Amino acid sequence: MAKSIIDGLFGKSPIRPLQQHMTRAHSCIKQLNDIMIAMQKQDWDAGEKIRTNISKNEQEADVLKKKLRMGLPSTFMMPFSRRDLLDLLLIQDSIANISKDVSGLICNRKMIFPKEISKDVVELTKYCVKTSSKALKAINELDELLETAFGDRERKRVGNIIKEINNLESKTDSIQHKIRKKLFPLESTLPAVDVVFYYRAIELLGELADSAQKVGSRLEVLLAK
């Protein structure tokens, strides 16, 4: 049977796969909250389990990423630029990657933050997860955006979510700043190598929030076309 021209006209929509990928990426970052709980309890068996799970989810996200890339020939006519979509995918993927790095850093070093900043680090993690969950919410609006053909009304709705993302990200910035200020006077009392990795962990958490924010801003570019 001849494959009809009409049939060949319709490509596979990249929107659902993109959402699935973001859902996976978010499931990675979400588990950092659990890592923090395990860390506070010094329960490294539980921590290790979570770390393995994050690693597994990160690999799943990778598979989804590759599949989506392969199924997106340059001949596709889409309501957004292909470049923007692939950039967005890469940023989403960095959430999964960095989450894996953070969980690895904490679990492998059996990291214990000094009690002065411990609560703040937990709070920072919570806000990073919140930022990412808003980013996921924005990505999940893509079906509605498509249905309205990226109409002004729906774009405003998504614009508001993106504003929330930006606010949450500034919040993580200020928490980060607060932690660094508290950590500095303690430096001389702590083992130097530990301090280096405290800074590293805080930095990575900051990058996570950044990535989540970039998901929002890249989505904005994608909508604007």
Partner 1 sequence: MDIILNHGDLLLALAVIFGLFMAWGVGANDVANAMGTSVGSKAITVKQAIIIAIIFEFAGAFLAGGEVTATIRKGILDSALFSENPQLLVYGMLASLLAAGFWLLIASSLGWPVSTTHSIVGAIVGFGAVGVGIDAVAWGKVGNIAMSWIVSPILAGTIAFVLFRSLQNLIIDTANPFDNAKKYVPYYMFLVGFVISLVTIFKGLKHIGLSFPTDTSYYLAIGFGVLVASVGTIIIRRINIDPDENEDFYFTSMERVFSVLMVITAAAMAFAHGSNDVANAIGPLAAIYAVIESGGIIGSKSALPIWILLIGGGGIVFGLITYGHKVIATVGTGITQLTPSRGFAATLAAASTVVISSGTGLPVSTTQVLVGAVLGVGLARGMAALDTRVINKIFLSWIITLPAGALMSILFFFALKGAFSPL
Q: Collapsing DSSP states into helix, strand and coil, what is residue 112?
A: coil
Does 83 bind partner 1 (CB under 8 A)? Our answer is no
Residue 42 burial class via C-beta count within 10 angstroms: exposed 0-12, middle 13-18, buried 19 and up: exposed
Query: In terms of CB distance, is 75 or 189 closer to partner 1?
Result: 75
Query: In terms of CB distance, is 14 or 216 closer to partner 1?
Result: 14
Nearest approach, Cβ of 191 to partner 1 (angstroms)?
51
Nearest approach, Cβ of 15 to partner 1 (angstroms)?
6
* Interface residue with partner 1, options 45, 70, 115, 153 (CB under 8 A): 153
Burial 181-190 (b: 16+ CB within 10 A, else e): eebeeeeeee
* Interface residue with partner 1, options 42, 56, 79, 119 (CB under 8 A): 79
Nearest approach, Cβ of 19 to partner 1 (angstroms)?
12
* Interface residue with partner 1, options 37, 46, 78, 90 (CB under 8 A): 78
Q: Collapsing DSSP states into helix, strand and coil, what is residue 38?
A: helix
Which residues 15-44 are close enough to bind partner 1 by CB under 8 A? 15
Query: In terms of CB distance, is 5 or 192 closer to partner 1?
Result: 5
Would you say 131 and 169 are in contact if contact means Cβ atoms under 8 Å apart? yes
Does 70 bind partner 1 (CB under 8 A)? Our answer is no
In one-letter notation, the amino acid at residue 108 is N
Please, which residues have CB within 8 angstroms of residue 57's CB and are 6 or more apart in sequence?
24, 27, 28, 31, 96
135: how many CB neighbours lie within 10 A of its CB?
Answer: 33
User: Binding residues for partner 1, per CB under 8 A?
Assistant: 1-15, 72-73, 75-79, 143-144, 146-154, 225
